[in-house]
């Protein structure tokens, strides 16, 4: 990843207000060489290239696998190469040849995945962390006796790439996940690495230079989790810069709810190609260092007043969301919270799609968006995954969110933008840079070119926005040596270099529409009980009864005849909003003729409408104390995932909202839309 920085002239005399408040998590300054070189020494790379040309030397298994806790191997297989990274988490398994050695690994893999491993002699020499060569990085992971957890010893700069879900606790030293540093003594953090996104990486960091007895302290820690035999083997691997982590299983209402759908039951289980690689990593623990290209960004506000306002922009599928997670996690190493303004309607981070929101982030983001759905501080329901139909309402909604942000709290703000960077999309970006007090613009691009002009201060100073225009230069300023210049900011041009950048993932669960459905399912999982037990279908839950004379009903994305409003909104997702005006009606429902811009507190499923009694039946995870403030239900183009309607059956196997006996003559009737993942001819040709 290469980066170009355009910085405005420094202004002297400004106060320095943004400092590192958590010294233990401070990182050493990153030099330009760190961005282009790997952490592996050049000598190790040279030796590795020589070893690749040798014959495979994997030790053949002489016995059947035995269910013991010792995991080991005492030879290196140069014929096995780390699969190249793919966009959105897909990967391939690359082999030099289909050797007999590898065939034996494949036959052996099923028993290993069931916690059966082969016990080998311990006759190798310990290699330094981060080396590609060496034969001794084994026996670094031990399973707790009678408990479903694994203890792993990692050396400095070693990286574990994994699929699945777990709780991670750092018992000794410190590690990094998605830019967030986890140290000993901290709480356990949930990690989610599903097949819909790139695998997570756990990287061992160098420990602070403090005099301590590593073996003695590690022994006391391991006593709580391992038997003496396993503890003894792990203690041999402990070094001054080692880290010890504990991995434990995790089960939440979210994971139970997702696994109840057949098409999502393997979401956290890797495919066979990745499973074999995952097994090999755990047997020959971290023998090959995973080189992770992480988005790099350093913000220093020592030369300006207030906190940083960072706007991240770029074309579709260029890595904005992943960059934002790394950026937020890195900032959380130095501050207690970060503000996040969501301006991307299609790929939202904390809410279902179709929302503009402002969220205070206090916990690290260690998974994809559907794993950390939460209620923002302020939210406006736009109702569509794109703003093309009403650009003015989009900008006015963003302005409304900004006015609601507390200006007294000094927190760094990260602004996420859409992947629409041409035409009106470019004009909207110009408007946002002018409307908000932006201090840094991070522009992501790929293929060596920018998909839109570089959004430097000079460009924005003269460009036309959708609502704004460049300031007119007066005659006095034209003849003045030092005219009044508009506010400037630092511009970063970051070149994304990961494989298949700029292209949408084609594997299962990786398309944008599927990820939007996962976010919606993540939100609906909040309706499930925290207690372990069977998943309850949404139509089996007890709904709220809301008099329709007490709330207004509106449609955001299209015009609907008043007589068809109930048909359109039944069994649909609605935004629970709060109008400033009081809603009252003595007869009949209250219907809105225009789309309002008003606060939204959450979402609900309009499960049914009782016209005779004048009631809406509403399912929502929102607390009743907040629900009392809601006086408006807004229907948008964001729909419920089809699996909610087709896969959740009643007590007698019925599907309440799906039928095969439909009449096309009825207004609004039709077949359910099925996305088959087929590309447009223009996109096929471009590939």
Q: What is the pLDDT of residues 331-352, one digit of tens each?
A: 999 999 999 999 999 999 999 9
Q: Residue 137 — pLDDT band, cuts 50, 70, 90?
A: very low
pLDDT band at 390 (very low <50, low <70, confident <90, very high): very high
**356 CB-contact burial (10 Å; exposed 0-12 / middle 13-18 / buried 19+):** buried
Query: What average pLDDT score do residues 553-561 get?
Result: 91
Q: Which pLDDT score, from 0 to 100, does residue 408 have?
A: 75
CA–CA–CA angle 5, 176, 184 (5° rounding):
140
484: pLDDT confidence band, cut at 50, 70 and 90? Answer: very low
Q: Does 30 or 184 have the greater pLDDT score?
A: 184
pLDDT at 295 over 80: no
590: DSSP letter? E
Local confidence band at 301 (pLDDT 50, 70, 90 cut-offs): very low
Q: How many CB atoms lie within 10 A of CB 406?
A: 11
Please give the Cα distance from 528 to 525 (Å, whole number).
6
Distance CA 178, CA 416 (A): 18
As beta bridge partners, residue 189 has 168
DSSP H helices in 494-604: 512-524, 565-569
What is the pLDDT, as a whole number, of residue 241? 87
Question: How, if at all, do strands 440-446 and 309-314 pair?
Answer: parallel
Does position 100 have pLDDT exceeding 60, yes or no? no
CA gap 416, 435 in Å, rounded: 15
pLDDT of 449 above 50: yes
Confidence at residue 354, expressed as pLDDT on a 0 to 100 scale: 96
Report which of 668, 671, 670, 672 is spatially closest to residue 563, judged by C-alpha positions. Answer: 668
Least confident of 92-106, 232-246, 616-630: 92-106
CA dihedral (386, 392, 393, 398) in degrees, to 10, reads 90
pLDDT for the residue 678: 56
Strand partners, 80: 95
Which helix (H) or strand (E) segment holds residue 193: the answer is strand 189-193
Q: How confident is the model at residue 203 (pLDDT cuts 50, 70, 90)?
A: very high
Q: Among 253-257, 478-482, 610-614, which stretch is predicted with the lowest mean pLDDT?
A: 478-482
How far is the CA of 428 from the CAs of 392, 409, 466, in angstroms?
Answer: 10, 27, 6
For the cut 90, the answer to whether the pLDDT of residue 441 exceeds it is yes
Report the distance separating Cα 409 and Cα 337, nearest Å: 11
Q: 10 Å Cβ neighbour count for 685?
A: 8
pLDDT-derived band of residue 673, with 50, 70 and 90 as boundaries?
A: low
pLDDT tens for each residue of 27-42: 343 333 333 333 333 4
Q: What is the pTM of this model?
A: 0.75
Kindly tell me if the per-residue pLDDT of 425 is higher than 50.
Answer: yes
By the 8 A CB rule, do 305 and 426 touch? no
The pLDDT-based confidence of 58 (bands split at 50, 70, 90) is very low
- Mean pLDDT (the chain) is 75
pLDDT of residue 473: 54
Contact 190, 367 (CB under 8 A): yes
The model's confidence at residue 548, banded by pLDDT at 50, 70 and 90, is confident
Higher pLDDT, 561 or 664: 561
**Does pLDDT of 304 surpass 70?**
no
Token look-up 């790997």 returns 38
pLDDT at 88 exceeding the cut of 50:
no
Q: H-helix or E-strand containing 634?
A: strand 632-635
Task: Name the strand (E) or helix (H) holding 626.
Answer: helix 624-627
Q: Read off the pLDDT band of 508 (50, 70, 90).
A: confident
Q: What percent of the chain has pLDDT over 70?
A: 65
Confidence label for 127 from pLDDT (cuts 50, 70 and 90): very low
Task: Strand 355-361: give its sheet, edge to edge.
Answer: 2-6, 490-496, 440-446, 309-314, 413-416, 338-342, 355-361, 378-381
Instruction: Give all strands of the β-sheet with 544-547 in edge-to-edge order.
Output: 544-547, 615-619, 600-610, 572-577, 632-635, 552-555, 590-591
Does the pLDDT value for residue 410 go beyond 80?
A: yes
What is the average per-residue pLDDT within 521-540?
Answer: 91
- CA neighbor of 385 nearest in space, from 483, 515, 278, 230: 515
Average pLDDT over residues 252-274: 82
Residue 552 has pLDDT above 70, yes or no: yes
Q: Which residue has the higher pLDDT, 322 or 17?
A: 322
Per-residue buried b or exposed e for 474-508, using 16+ beta carbons within 10 Å of the residue's own CB? eeeeeeeeeeeeeebbbbbbbbbebebbbbbbebb
Model confidence at 669: pLDDT above 90: no
Asked whether residue 289 carries a pLDDT value surpassing 50, the answer given is no
pLDDT reported for residue 394: 97
Q: How high is the pLDDT of residue 642?
A: 87
Distance CA 528, CA 594 (A): 34
The b-or-e profile of 451-467 (16+ CB within 10 A means b, else e) is bbeebbbeebeebebbb
**Strands annotated E in 14-172:** 141-143, 150-154, 159-162, 164-172
Nearest C-alpha neighbor of 615 from the set 602, 598, 597, 633? 633
Mean pLDDT is lowest, of 150-154, 260-264, 271-275, 349-353, for 271-275
Q: What is the DSSP letter of 511?
A: S
């Amino acid at each position: 990843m290469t980066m170009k920085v355009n910085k405005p002239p420094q202004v002297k005399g400004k106060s320095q207000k943004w400092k590192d408040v958590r010294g233990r998590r401070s990182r050493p300054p990153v030099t330009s060489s760190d961005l282009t070189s790997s952490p592996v020494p050049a000598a190790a790379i040279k030796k590795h290239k020589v070893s690749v040309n040798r014959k495979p030397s994997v030790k053949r298994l002489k016995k059947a696998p035995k269910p013991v806790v010792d995991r080991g191997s005492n030879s290196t297989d140069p014929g096995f190469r780390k699969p190249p990274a793919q966009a959105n988490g897909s990967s391939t398994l690359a082999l030099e040849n289909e050797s007999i050695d590898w065939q034996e690994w494949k036959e052996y893999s099923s028993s290993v995945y069931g916690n059966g491993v082969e016990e080998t002699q311990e006759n190798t020499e310990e290699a330094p962390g981060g080396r590609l060569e060496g034969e001794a990085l084994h026996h670094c992971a031990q399973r707790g006796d009678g408990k479903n957890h694994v203890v792993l010893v990692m050396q400095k700069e070693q990286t574990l790439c994994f699929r699945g879900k777990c709780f991670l606790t750092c018992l000794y030293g410190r590690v990094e996940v998605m830019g967030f540093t986890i140290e000993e003594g901290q709480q356990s953090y949930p990690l989610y690495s599903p097949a819909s996104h790139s695998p997570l990486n756990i990287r061992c960091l160098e420990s602070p230079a403090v005099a301590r007895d590593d073996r003695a302290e590690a022994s006391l820690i391991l006593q709580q989790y391992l038997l003496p035999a396993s503890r003894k083997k792990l203690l041999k691997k402990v070094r001054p810069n080692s880290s010890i982590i504990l991995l434990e299983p995790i089960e939440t209402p979210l994971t139970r709810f997702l696994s109840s759908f057949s098409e999502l039951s393997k979401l956290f289980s890797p495919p066979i190609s990745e499973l074999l690689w995952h097994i090999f990593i755990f047997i020959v623990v971290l023998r090959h260092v995973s080189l992770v290209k992480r988005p790099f960004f350093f913000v220093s506000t020592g030369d300006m007043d207030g906190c940083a306002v960072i706007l991240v922009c770029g074309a579709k599928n260029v890595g904005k969301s992943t960059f934002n997670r790394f950026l937020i996690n890195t900032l959380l190493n130095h501050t207690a919270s970060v503000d996040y303004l969501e301006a991307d309607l299609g790929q939202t981070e904390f809410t279902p799609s179709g929302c503009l929101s402002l969220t205070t982030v206090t916990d690290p983001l260690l998974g994809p968006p559907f794993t950390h759905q939460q209620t923002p501080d302020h939210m406006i329901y736009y109702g569509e995954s794109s703003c093309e139909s009403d650009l003015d309402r989009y900008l006015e909604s963003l302005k409304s969110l900004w006015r609601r942000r507390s200006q007294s709290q000094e927190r760094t703000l990260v602004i996420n933008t859409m992947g629409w960077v041409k035409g009106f999309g470019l004009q909207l970006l110009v408007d946002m840079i002018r409307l908000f007090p932006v201090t840094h613009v991070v522009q992501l691009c790929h293929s060596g070119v920018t998909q839109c002009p570089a959004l430097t201060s000079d460009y924005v100073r003269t460009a036309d926005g959708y609502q704004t225009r460049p300031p007119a230069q007066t005659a006095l300023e034209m003849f003045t040596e030092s005219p009044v210049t508009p506010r400037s900011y630092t511009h970063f041009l970051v070149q994304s270099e990961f494989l298949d950048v700029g292209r949408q993932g084609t594997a299962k669960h990786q398309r944008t529409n599927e990820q939007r459905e996962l976010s919606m399912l993540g939100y609906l999982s909040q309706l499930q009980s925290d207690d372990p037990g069977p998943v309850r279908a949404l139509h089996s839950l007890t709904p709220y009864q809301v008099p329709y004379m007490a709330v207004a009903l509106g449609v955001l994305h299209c015009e609907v005849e008043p007589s068809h409003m109930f048909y359109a909104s039944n069994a649909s997702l609605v935004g629970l909003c709060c109008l400033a005006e009081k809603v009252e009606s003595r007869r009949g429902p209250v219907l809105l003729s225009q789309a309002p811009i008003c606060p939204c507190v959450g979402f609900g499923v309009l499960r049914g409408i009782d016209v005779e009694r004048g009631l809406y039946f509403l399912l929502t995870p929102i607390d009743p104390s907040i629900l009392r403030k809601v006086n408006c239900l807004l229907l948008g183009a964001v729909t419920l995932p089809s699996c909610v309607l087709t896969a959740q059956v009643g007590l007698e196997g019925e599907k309440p909202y799906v039928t095969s006996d439909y009449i096309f003559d009825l207004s609004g009737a039709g077949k359910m839309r099925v996305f088959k993942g087929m590309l447009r001819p223009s996109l096929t040709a471009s590939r």
